[in-house]
Chains A and B, each alone.
Chain A
Amino acid sequence: MAQVFPAERELRRVIGAGHSVPDRALEGVGERELLELYRSLVLLRTYDERSVVYHRQGRIGTYAIFWNHEAMQAGAVHALEEQDWIFPSYRESAIGLLRGMPASTVLSWWRGHPAGWWNPADYNVASICVPIGTHVPHAAGLAWGKRLAGEDAVAIAFFGDGATSEGSFHEGANFAAVMRAPLILFCNNNQWAISTPLDAQTRAETLADKAVGYGMPGVRVDGLDVLAVYEATREAVARARAGDGPTFIEAVHYRAAPHATADDPRVYIDLERVEEERQRECVGRYERYLRRLGVLSDEQAEQIRGEAAETMRRGIAQAEAEPAADVALLFEHAYADGRVAFASELAELRRLTGGTEAVEPDEGPEVQV
């Protein structure tokens, strides 16, 4: 039966703003959960800030910054169960850390080393999707396939505002709706696709409006309010698990950092607005909320930050300690029988590069991602 779901206009919020806007309580979320959420936010923030430093130090390659996107990522992931699947874009490159993936794996990915490969089934986290929006159909297919197999698992796909212009986003969203796939379409609307502003991307009043055309609910949420994101995702997950199909969540904020290390947004972005956004950044905002509740002490905050910093220190050390990749990896996984199929190519490379010694990569130029 076709249904019309009018999309929301107002942004959902839970965290208030001091005295003028009161905090809203969130049902079913206790102190432990609140602190776990904080731990995830800090881990992601630390990952991002350290990565920019590592990039400047030449220790990782070009890197897509996600500073101030942590509330969307952590809030959404915390609303999932372990059996649920995450489909990240490059903006969510480190989201696997919230599923126990070692930091060294993600850092290796950004170092262009095959140690950055992972088996999605180990974490229920799909590979990082680089071409925009093309993973949305994958998430729809996985969610549909799990439902067909009688398994209880939902999927979430993260993508940006720019991705909503892509055909694959549309096809994935439509498939999910038609198949009643248990999927959450999570749109990180940071209002910029590199240098292209949202009003050059769409004439729709909101991105959530697009959900109406697919016959699914469109929810709008403050992307810097981790609890609002958590609550909205939790609702969408419940709906998906109940067999009611996909939900589109538009998380709204404003990109307060460059698109990537190779990008200089000063030529196109509103710097005053960026400064305002930096003042409202999502980790500090949540930290103040926790302190208002009396849930977070200085010692706890210090300890959580220290743990995250240590995770990164260990992660980069481990990534840098990876031996150079063997040339056999060029072939081994291209096909199930890659080593056999490419035996003569591999033998020739071995002859030219000498024994099993790996090829050292050249330092390449900075590239736009």
Chain B
Amino acid sequence: MNDALHVELERDDSVLVMGEDVGRAGGVFRATAGLRDRFGPDRCVDTPLAEAGILGTAVGLCMAGWRPVCEMQYDAFSYPCLDQLITHVGRYRWRTGGGMEFPVTIRMPYGGGVRAPELHDDSPETYYVHTPGVKVAIPSTPADAKGLLAAAIRDPDPVVVLEPKLIYRGVAEEVPEGEHVVPLGRARVAREGSDLTLVAYGAMVALAERAAAGLADEASVEIVDVRTLKPLDEEALLASAAKTGRVVIVQEAPRTCGYGAELAAILAEKAILDLRGPVLRVTGYDVPYPYWQIEDAYMPSIDRVVDAARKLLEF
């Protein structure tokens, strides 16, 4: 993320980064480290502690010709900004009849599993995806994190980038140097297979990979990493469903009206003749995200994914 921000601020003078503790401290997850020194306090702005104010002023910055990249310190602290997102950010282009662009990027640490106090582990993607006028991306690898953030910053529409906290520190890989853009709206086949598809995004992709390895003796498992939840790469989803005929969706957010429900609905509408069994979901439960001593029971686990896959294979 840090590399992407350095490259994009260098590339385009109208890009600025703003948020709580992004300047002097370099962000609580260090995503903005070094930007203030390199680009100055006007382009890496420590803001007052006010999420709605951050996104609300970003709307005005867009009107003044800037491309703001707003950091929300944690996903579960971002809810005050939903007011601005729903009432203005997703609607302003539309209400100007396309006359004005609002190329704002909203990025935040996302998801659970990091053994933190209450409200540091939510998975709020559905709120964002459900908001018209807004795009949403969730990377699952460091290279995609860089590429999707670059695409978000360059996109003419508002884009929310949810960055899985588990991946900040849990995954290491080489990231392409310099400009690297992963287009929005394209899924990635993270693993090829022929018997069953696991559909996942964010930190659940790595979980799916471990589950697929566990099933290696029983089935050839394909993994589709959604990457961009909106716009969704429907083609990739349907192609994999057509190939394997069996789909298990893995999502760490609560179950009801979660993103998995949307994926399942699309499969029901458009892939019914390709399916050899019901679309199954492995999700978090419809409860507040638990304290960390019992969070493992809440999060989709390898066992739960393997169990669902076996049920479907035996259907």
Interface residues in chain A, defined as those with a beta carbon under 8 Å from any beta carbon in chain B: 85, 114, 117-122, 126-127, 130-131, 134-146, 148-149, 151, 155, 167-168, 171-172, 174-175, 178-179, 332-336, 338, 341
Would A118 and B96 count as touching, CB distance under 8 A? yes
Known contacts A144-B60, A145-B61; A171 and B52 CB within 8 A of each other:
yes
Least CB distance from A134 to B in Å reads 6
Contact of B93 with A134 in the complex, beta carbons under 8 Å: no
Of B30-38, B97-105, B173-181, the stretch lying at the interface with chain A is B97-105
Collect the chain B residues with CB atoms within 8 Å of residue A175's CB: 47-48, 50, 53, 56-57
CB pair A143–B60 under 8 Å, yes or no, is yes
Q: Is B52's CB under 8 angstroms from A137's CB?
A: yes
Residues of B close to A168: CB separation below 8 A: 52-53, 56, 83-84
Q: Once the chains bind, are B87 and A131 in contact (CB under 8 Å)?
A: yes
A134-B56 CB under 8 A given contacts A142-B63, A148-B42, A336-B156: yes
Q: For the complex, what is the distance from the CA of A67 to the CA of B153, rounded to whole Å?
A: 44
A171 to B42, CA, bound (A): 19
CA distance A119 to B101 in the complex (A): 10
Is the pair A167, B63 in contact by a Cβ cutoff of 8 Å? Answer: no
| Neighbouring B residues of A130 by C-beta, 8 Å | 87
Contact of B53 with A174 in the complex, beta carbons under 8 Å: yes
Q: How far is the CA of A179 from the CA of B83 in the complex (A)?
A: 22
Scan B115-141; emit 1 where CB is below 8 A from any A CB, else 0: 000000000000000001101000000
B88 in complex: contacting residue of A138, A178, A336, CB < 8 Å: A138
Contacts of A119 in B (CB 8 A): 96-97, 99-100
A122 to B96, CA, bound (A): 10
Q: Is the CB of B99 within 8 A of A141?
A: no
Contact B57 A138 (CB under 8 A): yes
- How far apart are the CA atoms of A338 and B133 in the complex, in Å? 9
Task: Give the contacting residue for B96; candidates A120, A140, A155; CB below 8 A.
Answer: A120
Residue B94 is within 8 A (CB to CB) of chain A in the complex: yes
Let me know if B157 and A118 touch, CB within 8 A.
no
Q: Do A172 and B97 touch across chains, with their CB atoms under 8 A apart?
A: no
B134 to chain A, nearest CB (A): 9
A126 neighbours in B (Cβ, 8 Å): 63
Q: Which residues of B contact A121 (CB under 8 A)?
A: 63, 99-100
- Looking across the interface, which residue of chain B has its beta carbon closest to that of A119? B99
Contact between B133 and A167, CB atoms less than 8 A apart: no
Given contacts A120-B96, A137-B57, 11 further A-B contacts (CB under 8 A): A119-B97, A130-B87, A137-B52, A142-B64, A145-B64, A171-B53, A175-B57, A179-B57, A333-B96, A334-B133, A335-B133
What's the least CB distance linking B144 to chain A, in Å? 22
Chain B: CB-nearest residue to A140: B57
Q: Which of B80, B83, B87, B95 has the most CB of A within 10 A?
A: B95
Distance, CA A139 to CA B62, complexed state (A): 11
Contacts of A333 in B (CB 8 A): 93-94, 96-98
**Residues of the A chain whose Cβ atoms lie less than 8 Å from the Cβ of B50:** 171, 174-175
A134 touches B57 (CB 8 A): no
Alpha-carbon separation in the docked complex, A335 to B131 (Å): 12
A334 proximity list for chain B (CB < 8 A): 93-94, 132-133
- B157–A141 touching, CB < 8 Å: no
- Nearest-CB distance from B95 to chain A (Å)? 5
- Whether, in the assembled complex, B58 has its beta carbon less than 8 Å from a beta carbon of chain A, the answer is yes
- What are 18 inter-chain pairs, A to B, with CB distance below 8 A? A118-B97, A126-B63, A134-B87, A134-B88, A137-B52, A137-B53, A137-B57, A140-B57, A141-B57, A142-B63, A148-B42, A168-B53, A168-B83, A171-B53, A171-B56, A333-B93, A336-B101, A336-B155
Query: Is B59 on the interface with A (CB-CB < 8 A)?
Result: yes
- List of B residues within 8 angstroms of A135 by Cβ: 88
B65 contacts across to A, CB distance below 8 A: 145, 149
A156 CB to closest chain B CB (Å) equals 12
Bound complex: CA of A131 vs CA of B53, how far in Å? Answer: 15
**Residues from chain A with Cβ under 8 Å of B48 in the complex:** 171, 174-175, 178
Report whether B56 and A137 are in contact in the complex, using a CB–CB cutoff of 8 Å: yes
Give A135 to B87 CA distance when docked, in angstroms: 10
Q: How far is the CB of B160 from chain A (nearest CB, A)?
A: 14
Kindly report which residue of chain B lies nearest to residue A173, judged by CB atoms.
B53
Contact between B64 and A149, CB atoms less than 8 A apart: yes
A131 to B16, CA, bound (A): 27
Closest A residue by C-beta to B59: A138
A175 to chain B, nearest CB (A): 5
Chain B residue with the shortest CB-CB distance to A332: B98
Asked if B277 CB lies within 8 Å of chain A CBs, one says: no
Are B60 and A138 neighbours in the complex by a CB distance under 8 Å?
yes
Q: Which residues of A contact B93 (CB under 8 A)?
A: 333-336
Q: Which residues of A contact B288 (CB under 8 A)?
A: none
Q: How far is the CA of A46 from the CA of B62 in the complex (A)?
A: 34
* Cβ contact of A138, chosen from B63, B83, B135, B155, cutoff 8 A: B63
Closest 8 CB pairs of A and B: A141-B60, A137-B56, A119-B99, A145-B64, A171-B53, A141-B57, A117-B97, A142-B60
Q: Which of B55, B87, B95 has a CB less than 8 Å from the CB of A117?
A: B95
Given A134-B83, A168-B83, A172-B57, residue A145 in contact with residue B99 (CB < 8 A): no
Q: Is the CB of B59 within 8 A of A141?
A: yes
B29 contacts partner chain A, Cβ-Cβ < 8 Å: no
* Complex CA distance for A145 and B92, rounded to whole angstroms: 17
How far, in angstroms, from A155 to B96 measured CA to CA in the complex? 19
> Closest A-chain residue to B80, C-beta based?
A167
B214 at the interface (CB under 8 A from A): no
Interface string of B144-168 (1 = CB under 8 A from A): 0000000000011100000000000
Q: With both chains docked as a complex, state the minimum distance between the C-beta of B51 and any C-beta of chain A, in angstroms.
A: 9
| A145 in contact with B52 (CB, 8 Å) | no
The residues of B that contact A114 with a CB separation of less than 8 Å are: 97
A182 to B31, CA, bound (A): 31
